[in-house]
C-alpha cells in the first residue's frame, strides 16, 4: 500500500488548508461563541467544490474519491471541526441525491446542492429511535401524485437554516425493509422546526428537531425504489463515518500542533516543558495515535472506494478508533496547556467540545463496536 499522497491529493490538501486558514480560522471562535451558522463561508466552500466532493461531474460535483474527500475534510476541520462536519453532512446528502435521485429531481436540485448555493440536512434520527434507526416511526402514506409525510426527527444538523432535506420514513411494514428515502423541500407546507438546541459543541451549525404534519412530497422526490431507504441510509453512513473520522483527525492535528509549540515556549523549573521526559512521552503517544488513526481512516476510504467486502467493518473501525483517540489527543493537549488550555483564549477547549460529539453521531461508538464484533466473530464461526 502506498502511503504517499499523489500530486493531485497534495494540491487538494493545500487548497483546503489555504481556504481554512483564510476563511475559517479567523472566525471559528466567534462562530462558536455566538452560535453563528456561516452560510456565506459554506457557499464559498461550494465555489471551491467542497460541497460536492464525491458527486459525479455530470451533476456538478468534483468526482473525487472518498480518500480525497477525507484529506480535504481533515484540513477544514483543523480550523473548525463544527463547520467542516456540517460540510461533510451536506456532501452526503448531495451524493445521495446524485446517486438515487430521479432525473427530474436532479434537474431541479443537483446544481444548487453541488455548488453550495442550496444547503441540505439529513433526517434519520428520531426522538425515540436514536441508534435503532430500523424502527423509525415517521410515516409516508401514498397519495395521488406523491406521498404525505407525518412524524418527527431529532438532532438534525442545519435544520431551520437549510433548503433541502433527505428524510427516511416508513412507507411499508415494520423493520428496515419498510423504510423509503425522500427528498423534501425544507420550506414545504407542514414542516415545523423546533427550538435550536443548546449544545456543548458544534455551535457553528444549528441543531433542531423537525415535525412533519401531512407534508406533501412529489412522486419524483422518492430516492431509489420504495423500501430501499434503509439501504440508502446505511450506504450514506458508511461514507459519513469516514468523513466524521476525518474531522476528528483535523481537530486532533490542530491540538497536537498547538501543544508541540506550547511545550517549547512554556518555562517551568528553569526549562521548557519540552525538556521533561513525562511531556516528551505524552507528545510521543499523541503523535503515534494520530498517525494510527489517520492510517485507519485512509485505509477505510480506499476500501470503500474499491467496494471491498470488508469496507463496512473498516469504516466502523476507523470511525470508532479515530473519534475515541483523537478526542484523547485533544484532551492531552489541553492538559499540557494547563489552566490556559481551559480558557477560551486558546482554541483547545473549543476543539475538545467539538470533537466530543463525534463519538456519538453517525452511529455511536458502541454501535461501531457491535458492527465490528459481529463481523470478526462471524469470520471465526466453525
Residues with catalytic roles: 362
- Going by the DSSP 8-state scheme, the letter that residue 64 receives in this structure is -
365 and 320 Cβ atoms separated by less than 8 Å: yes
Q: What is the DSSP letter of 275?
A: G
All 3 cell numbers of residue 87?
460540510
Bridge partners (DSSP) of residue 62 are none
**What is the C-alpha to C-alpha distance for residues 328 and 289, in angstroms, rounded to an integer?**
9
Locate 153 and state its grid cell.
Answer: 426527527
State the pairing for strand pair 164-170/120-123.
parallel
CB atoms within 10 A of CB 157: 24
Torsion angle (degrees, nearest 10) of CA 92, 95, 97, 100: -110
Residue with cell string 420514513: 169
Whether the Cβ atoms of residue 221 and residue 179 lie closer than 8 Å to each other: no
Is residue 300 a contact partner of residue 318, using CB atoms and an 8 Å limit?
yes
Amino acid at each position: 500500500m502506498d502511503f504517499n499522497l499523489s500530486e493531485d491529493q497534495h494540491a487538494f490538501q493545500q487548497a483546503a488548508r489555504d481556504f481554512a486558514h483564510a476563511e475559517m480560522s479567523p472566525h471559528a471562535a466567534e462562530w462558536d461563541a455566538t452560535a453563528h451558522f456561516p452560510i456565506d463561508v459554506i457557499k464559498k466552500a461550494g465555489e471551491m467544490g467542497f460541497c460536492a466532493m464525491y458527486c459525479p461531474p455530470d451533476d456538478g460535483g468534483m468526482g473525487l474519491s472518498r480518500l480525497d474527500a477525507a484529506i480535504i475534510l481533515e484540513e477544514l476541520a483543523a480550523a473548525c471541526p463544527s463547520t467542516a462536519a456540517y460540510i461533510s453532512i451536506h456532501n452526503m446528502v448531495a451524493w445521495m441525491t446524485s446517486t438515487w435521485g430521479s432525473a427530474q429531481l436532479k434537474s431541479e436540485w443537483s446544481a444548487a446542492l453541488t455548488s453550495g448555493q442550496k444547503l441540505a440536512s439529513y433526517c434519520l434520527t428520531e426522538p425515540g429511535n436514536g441508534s435503532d434507526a430500523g424502527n423509525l416511526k415517521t410515516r409516508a402514506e401514498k397519495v395521488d401524485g406523491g406521498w404525505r409525510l407525518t412524524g418527527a426527527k431529532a438532532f438534525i444538523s442545519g435544520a431551520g437554516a437549510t433548503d433541502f432535506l433527505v428524510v427516511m420514513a416508513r412507507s411499508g411494514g415494520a423493520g428496515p425493509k419498510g423504510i423509503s428515502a425522500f427528498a423534501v423541500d425544507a420550506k414545504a407546507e407542514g414542516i415545523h422546526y423546533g427550538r435550536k438546541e443548546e449544545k456543548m459543541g458544534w455551535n457553528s451549525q444549528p441543531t433542531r428537531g423537525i415535525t412533519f404534519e401531512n407534508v406533501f412530497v412529489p412522486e419524483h422526490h422518492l430516492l431509489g425504489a420504495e423500501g430501499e431507504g434503509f439501504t440508502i441510509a446505511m450506504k450514506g453512513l458508511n461514507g459519513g463515518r469516514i468523513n466524521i473520522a476525518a474531522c476528528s483527525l483535523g481537530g486532533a492535528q490542530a491540538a497536537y500542533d498547538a501543544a508541540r509549540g506550547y511545550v517549547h515556549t512554556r518555562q517551568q523549573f528553569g526549562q521548557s516543558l519540552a525538556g521533561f521526559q513525562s511531556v516528551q512521552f505524552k507528545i510521543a503517544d499523541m503523535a503515534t495515535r494520530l498517525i494510527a488513526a489517520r492510517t485507519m481512516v485512509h485505509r477505510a476510504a480506499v476500501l470503500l472506494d474499491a467496494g471491498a467486502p470488508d469496507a463496512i467493518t473498516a469504516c466502523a473501525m476507523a470511525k470508532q478508533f479515530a473519534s475515541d483517540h483523537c478526542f484523547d489527543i485533544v484532551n492531552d493537549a489541553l492538559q499540557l496547556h494547563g489552566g490556559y488550555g481551559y480558557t477560551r483564549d486558546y482554541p483547545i477547549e473549543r476543539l475538545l467540545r467539538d470533537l466530543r460529539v463525534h463519538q456519538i453521531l453517525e452511529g455511536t461508538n458502541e454501535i461501531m463496536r457491535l458492527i465490528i464484533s459481529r463481523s470478526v466473530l462471524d469470520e471465526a464461526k466453525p
